[in-house]
A = this chain, B = another copy of it.
Amino acid sequence: MNDRAPRYSGVIPPVVTPLTEDGGIDRASLERLVGHLLDAGVTGLFVLGSSGETAYLTPDRQDEAVRIVTATAGGQVPVVVGAIETTTDRAVERGRAVTQLGADAVVATAPFYTRTDAAETERHFRQVAAALDLPLLAYDVPVCVHSKLDPDMLLALAADGVLAGVKDSSGDDGSFRRLALGARELPGFSVLTGHELVVDAMMLCGADGVVPGLGNVDPHGYVRLHEASLRGDWAAAKAEQDRLVALFDIVRAARPGTASATAAGLGAFKTALTLLGVIATNAVSAPMRRLDESETEAIAGCLERAGLAGVAPGS
């Protein structure tokens, strides 16, 4: 893989979108978060992904988030932006909007809500790419869109210049391996995993980089993990990943049965960032509920055990 030259590689966290108490975007917190990530050495920023609450934000709010991130990043790393919409025309509309706001690339999923098929999904990516002036990445996220992207289709779209990369959050390792093997002949095509708990393993399989939600909380850890993988120090990569897996226990802080998977996960990232002093509140979008004090304490415990600054709740 020494001859790979993908445009997007390394650690590209899906930036969470800090909110104010009244539901608006918390500009100062988002700026601090971007600084926190850049300081750690991330190689890109993914705005308006699932972790960015993209599906919860109105178009205006989405635009605001993009504006803040592109302004704060100031060209230091590429800013990849989600145009996560049900179908082609809607994704194109959002893709064009974020192009105007300084995005470096656009990310789209397969159609959702509608019942689609493989041929439509392929046309969707081709038409979205054709309508935009930026590189397009495909986001494979069956847990959200309820269909899986075929690796052979992705490779064909890459070969045709339609796709610049893929973020694979499918959890289908066989498919991912196939993608990574196929990408050997597509040196510029970026194969990114969203699988934040097995980045060492996915790097071994041939990933170019990772888009870890948990990377909001511990970007240094993911940067170290990625670097260890790059230099072939798999024992170090594994040790770092194991530490991050333990840290990921923060997503289990929500009392069982009282929060959706999204609220528990996203809420944990935001709560941890609050404890670390990066963002101001752990507010999340409706209809999710916010994690409470006792859940916050559980998260503080995880942070301490993972060696992150032992910040007490409220301190």
> For A156, what are the chain B residues with a Cβ–Cβ distance below 8 Å?
none
> For A258, what are the chain B residues with a Cβ–Cβ distance below 8 Å?
119
A71 contacts the other chain (CB 8 A): no
Cross-chain contact B173 with A287 (CB below 8 angstroms): no
Residue from the list B23, B143, B197 in contact with A173, Cβ < 8 A = B197
Of the listed stretches A31-39, A85-93, A219-227, A270-278, chain B binds A85-93
Chain A 51-83 per-residue mask, 1 if CB under 8 angstroms from chain B, else 0: 000011111010000000000000000000000
- In the complex, residue of chain B having the shortest beta-carbon distance to the beta carbon of A120: B287
- In the complex, residue of chain B having the shortest beta-carbon distance to the beta carbon of A172: B171
Of the listed stretches A40-48, A238-246, A291-299, chain B binds A238-246
> For A245, what are the chain B residues with a Cβ–Cβ distance below 8 Å?
174, 177-178, 181
Cross-chain contact B285 with A87 (CB below 8 angstroms): yes
Beta-carbon contacts under 8 Å, A240-260 to B: 241-242, 245-246, 248, 257-260
A204 contacts the other chain (CB 8 A): yes
> For A50, what are the chain B residues with a Cβ–Cβ distance below 8 Å?
114
Report the minimum CB–CB distance from A204 to chain B (whole Å): 5
Please count how many residues in chain A sit with their CB below 8 Å of the partner chain's CB atoms.
68
A146 contacts the other chain (CB 8 A): yes
Cross-chain contact B114 with A55 (CB below 8 angstroms): yes
Residue from the list B115, B144, B146, B261 in contact with A260, Cβ < 8 A = B115
SS class, residues of chain A in contact with chain B: helix
A195 contacts the other chain (CB 8 A): yes
Report the minimum CB–CB distance from A313 to chain B (whole Å): 24
Residue from the list B113, B261, B286 in contact with A127, Cβ < 8 A = B286
Beta-carbon contacts under 8 Å, A170-229 to B: 171-174, 177-178, 181, 195, 197-198, 200-202, 204-205
A14 contacts the other chain (CB 8 A): no
Report the minimum CB–CB distance from A232 to chain B (whole Å): 7
Cross-chain contact A285 with B177 (CB below 8 angstroms): no
CA distance A290 to B178 in the complex (A): 26
Report the minimum CB–CB distance from A305 to chain B (whole Å): 13
Cross-chain contact A127 with B88 (CB below 8 angstroms): no
- In the complex, residue of chain B having the shortest beta-carbon distance to the beta carbon of A178: B245
A160 contacts the other chain (CB 8 A): no
Cross-chain contact B173 with A198 (CB below 8 angstroms): yes
CA distance A311 to B113 in the complex (A): 34
Interface set of A (CB-CB < 8 Å, partner B): 23, 50, 55-59, 61, 84, 86-90, 93, 111-117, 119-121, 123-124, 127, 143-146, 171-174, 177-178, 181, 195, 197-198, 200-202, 204-205, 232, 234-235, 238, 241-242, 245-246, 248, 257-263, 285-289
Taking A55-B90, A56-B89 as known contacts, 14 extra A-B pairs with beta carbons closer than 8 A to each other, sorted by chain A number, are: A58-B89, A59-B59, A88-B285, A88-B287, A111-B287, A114-B144, A114-B262, A115-B144, A116-B262, A171-B173, A173-B195, A177-B197, A200-B204, A234-B234
